[in-house]
Chain A
């Protein structure tokens, strides 16, 4: 499950959760240029594939994003 409000996803028991950057655009980030945004989307879906191939026994967050990415400042905007 790719979503921004990971705390809710965890609480309702979604087994594999990938955090995204904004509520209205789970697999996008309008603050990025088109190529960067597509690369970010690919990272998200690749992280989802990692999650799908990983055994979990409880709700688990898989965060594959690059923490140094400047656009992190736009979280929730």
Chain B
């Protein structure tokens, strides 16, 4: 019997939603929530002996969280640690990636599942991660991929593209069928034939951002406030999405010294908005920015703030928002922007 310990966030273990996102790590016996489906897929040779759970804010924001989670996992004496799937959820993905790395480092067999765009993938630092769908509606097929990967891992086999392996796999020496010269020529011929992907050494795809030059004298320029915290007028007139945003909006702050509670709310679906709604300045710091404008520390505060919801946003849309924001701000003569991010 192979002992499985399953890691899930507070949502999937039924502890609660964003109101419970600061919950510290806890362990329960047996399979919980999606773990039951995982158990069914793994069959009688495996037993999900325990489920470890942690709130997303705690898991992603608390430095000691991964050690605490790993300690709970180890106490249940796993043969294999199964983590997620985290889909495209950023905080959950970070926790899953970190746990996969820490468990692997500690000598445990471990595999996590998340969407390829999840920022948690980098946190896994080479530990096994397989592909999941983008959102929980793809739980079924994602668990099937994960269960198949668990079986391979327990059998001592390497996970490959065929099992949905993401990220850079560990390098292992093996004897190639042909010598390096023949393989190199074959790759050149493939490229000349139009294949741009074939390679023996996949390179990481880093997006290069050239930092803008500093502003010499802020007291002479216009500064804008921008945010992905989904702060909008209470009626949400532009119907900004709470997740997977496809658009952004802009709202006037002309003549305002602050954004009053009740008049502005956050419609972000990725964290508890209680604190933001109590004081919208916690997302868009208009009060102190206006103060700094009045005192002359900045020349002028831009007449509106730009906003979207950064929650499972596709990389493509996020890039487009960035490009459109820069064009919009440039057109208005803005020289610098302060971006608040949740």
A contacts, CB < 8 Å to B: 1-5, 8-9, 11-16, 20, 22-28, 30, 37-38, 41-42, 44-46, 48-49, 52-58, 75-77
* 24 A-B residue pairs with CB within 8 Å: A2-B340, A5-B61, A11-B122, A12-B209, A13-B207, A15-B211, A22-B61, A23-B21, A23-B57, A24-B271, A24-B276, A24-B342, A26-B229, A26-B282, A26-B342, A27-B283, A41-B281, A45-B338, A46-B292, A49-B223, A49-B297, A53-B214, A57-B211, A76-B22
Pair B341/A41 contact, Cβ less than 8 Å? no
Pair B275/A30 contact, Cβ less than 8 Å? yes
Q: Which residues in A have their C-beta under 8 angstroms from that of B208?
A: 13
B287 within 8 A of A: yes
Q: Would you give the shortest CB distance from B3 to chain A, in whole angstroms?
A: 31
B contacts, CB < 8 Å to A: 18, 21-22, 57-58, 60-63, 65, 90-91, 94, 119, 122, 206-209, 211-216, 218, 223, 227, 229, 271-276, 278-279, 281-285, 287-289, 291-292, 297-298, 336, 338-342
Pair B57/A22 contact, Cβ less than 8 Å? yes
Q: Which residues in B have their C-beta under 8 angstroms from that of A4?
A: 61, 342
6 smallest CB-CB distances across A and B, nearest first, come from A28-B282, A76-B61, A15-B211, A13-B209, A3-B341, A25-B282
Q: Would you give the shortest CB distance from A64 to chain B, in whole angstroms?
A: 13
Q: Which residues in B have their C-beta under 8 angstroms from that of A37?
A: 279
Pair A52/B215 contact, Cβ less than 8 Å? yes
Identify which of A27, A48, A52, A53 contacts B281 (C-beta below 8 A): A27
Question: In this complex, which of A25, A41, A77 has the most chain B Cβ atoms within 10 angstroms of its Cβ?
Answer: A25
Q: Which residues in B have their C-beta under 8 angstroms from that of A54?
A: 214
Which of chain B's residues has its CB closest to A54's CB?
A: B214
Q: Which residues in A have their C-beta under 8 angstroms from that of B215?
A: 52-53
Instruction: Identify 9 new A-B residue pairs, CB closer than 8 A, beyond the known A27-B284, A56-B211.
Output: A11-B122, A22-B57, A23-B60, A24-B282, A25-B276, A27-B282, A42-B292, A45-B289, A53-B216
Q: Which residues in A have their C-beta under 8 angstroms from that of B94?
A: 5, 8
Q: Which residues in B have their C-beta under 8 angstroms from that of A20?
A: 340
